[in-house]
Amino acid sequence: MITGKQRSELKKMAQEIKPTVMIGKEEVTPNVISAIDDYLAVHELIKVQIQDGAILNPKETANEIAAEIGAEFVQAIGRKFVLYRPAADSDKRKIII
């Protein structure tokens, strides 16, 4: 569980990144979850965008995906959300909060 201060730092970092995974009208598929999981394993922080064709609530979707892959929900703004998961190996962590 991350603290409010840690969440604030992650929000600042997330401002600089572009969405790397798009969720379309097929909504959350195993491929989407796999792509998010793989990206977090390398980069630790991801921004995901829900496209206009999908009728999903960003915050609910983010929390469901986070619970499934063991990540932390950071924020949801508009149709985008940010997730964080530290690298399993503490020597390979890029984000120190």
d(CA 15, CA 38) in angstroms, rounded, equals: 21
Q: What is the distance between the alpha carbons of residues 3 and 9, in angstroms, rounded to a whole number? A: 10
Domain 4-87 homologous superfamily, CATH: YhbY-like (3.30.110.60)
pLDDT tens figures, 31-49: 999 999 999 999 999 999 9
pLDDT tens-place string over residues 54-89:
899 999 999 999 999 999 999 999 999 999 999 877
C-alpha pair distances (Å), 72 with each of 25, 53, 55: 24, 26, 22
Distance, in Å, from the CA atom of 50 to the CA atom of 48, rounded to the nearest integer, reads: 7
Q: Answer yes or no: is pLDDT of 95 > 90.
A: no
Residue pair 44/93 in contact by the 8 Å Cβ criterion = yes
Please, where are the H alpha helices in 18-86? 30-43, 58-69
Domain regions of the chain by residue span? 4-87
